[in-house]
Amino acid sequence: MSERKAGGKVGKKSDRGKGTPADGTTKLSRADYEAELAKLHAELVEVQYWTKQTGKRFIVIFEGRDAAGKGGVIKAITERVSPRTFRVMALPAPTDRERTQIFFQRYIERFPAAGEIVIFDRSWYNRAGVERVMGFCSDEQYERFIRICPAWERDIIDSGITIIKYWFEVSKEEQTRRFNKRITDPRKTWKLSPMDLESHRRWYDYSRARDAMFAATDTDVSPWHVVQADDKRRARLNCIAHLLSLIPHKRIKREKFVLPERQKARGYKEPDYDYKFIPEKY
């Protein structure tokens, strides 16, 4: 996989060991990770206030290898902010009705209104990825998508919506390790699907599809930002920090709240009622 460098040039990625960060440092401790994440969460809250006040609109797209950690970073972004401002879209396979629509139609209806940030966990780029590799679309449909997509995204941006696109890349070895974990860990089996198994088998088919997608849609107006994701904790922090750098937010002056005193009981007494409390097992 090649990665974009400063100035838009592309260079080869050096080989890295499993789970080794880009700078060769040791794994980030949980304490350090959580401390840094708390700072980023506080800034995301500021972004939330700023977005609502200014009425700005953002689309953030997460694509990448299966098991590359997209879901983890989306959860990290959204766990401390309002779901009414940060809306996550993880669309299932299209219905029979949706298959008869214009391809982009079901995505457009989920676009942000003023003061919203919509996060797409997979997006219209399914057509350039899984649909292309697995034969879920025709060659004609694929070629049309690749031809139209850059102009369509430019039109969205010209209408006032900011599009931010992330591609999560993971090594073959790390992807295999994570898939095996999903097979053996009962908490993660729901993450495994036949499509995941095929993505593991067809690594190089997906590589070719990724390369063709980048060649056609990595534009100056709507570029792809690549996240090296073998180290999950660093990938989450790096991605959130980068996202914050792309949203030109400012701290919004807000009224400080003071907790009011509770009202007087004025004769109220708790009823003698047989509440059905849950068992206290812990």
| CA pair distance 119, 59, nearest whole angstrom | 6
User: Is 18 part of a structural domain of the chain?
Assistant: no
Mean pLDDT computed over 154-178? 97
Half-sphere exposure of 108 (CA within 13 A, CB side): 11
The per-residue pLDDT for 24 is 55
User: Is 205 part of a structural domain of the chain?
Assistant: yes
User: Is 93 part of a structural domain of the chain?
Assistant: yes
| CA pair distance 30, 99, nearest whole angstrom | 44
Mean pLDDT computed over 35-42? 98
- Other beta carbons within 10 angstroms of residue 38's beta carbon come to 10
User: Is 276 part of a structural domain of the chain?
Assistant: no
CATH number of 193's domain = 3.40.50.300
Q: Of the ranges 15-29, 110-124, 130-144, 237-251, which one carries the lowest mean pLDDT score?
A: 15-29
| CA pair distance 80, 41, nearest whole angstrom | 6
φ, ψ of residue 134 in degrees (nearest 5):
-90, 0
User: Containing domain of residue 90, as a range?
Assistant: 25-246
Nearest-10 crossing angle of helices 194-201, 203-217: 90
The per-residue pLDDT for 232 is 96
User: Is 94 part of a structural domain of the chain?
Assistant: yes
User: Is 20 part of a structural domain of the chain?
Assistant: no
- Which of 75, 2, 89 lies closest to 41 in space, CA to CA? 75
pTM of model > 0.85: yes
- Other beta carbons within 10 angstroms of residue 172's beta carbon come to 13
Q: Inform me whether the pLDDT recorded for 3 exceeds 80.
A: no
Per-residue pLDDT tens digits for 174-186 = 999 999 999 999 9
User: Is 158 part of a structural domain of the chain?
Assistant: yes
Per-residue pLDDT tens digits for 63-85 = 999 999 999 999 999 999 999 99
Domains identified in the chain, total number: 1
Per-residue pLDDT tens digits for 81-103 = 999 999 999 999 999 999 999 99
The per-residue pLDDT for 254 is 87
| CA pair distance 263, 210, nearest whole angstrom | 62
User: Is 9 part of a structural domain of the chain?
Assistant: no
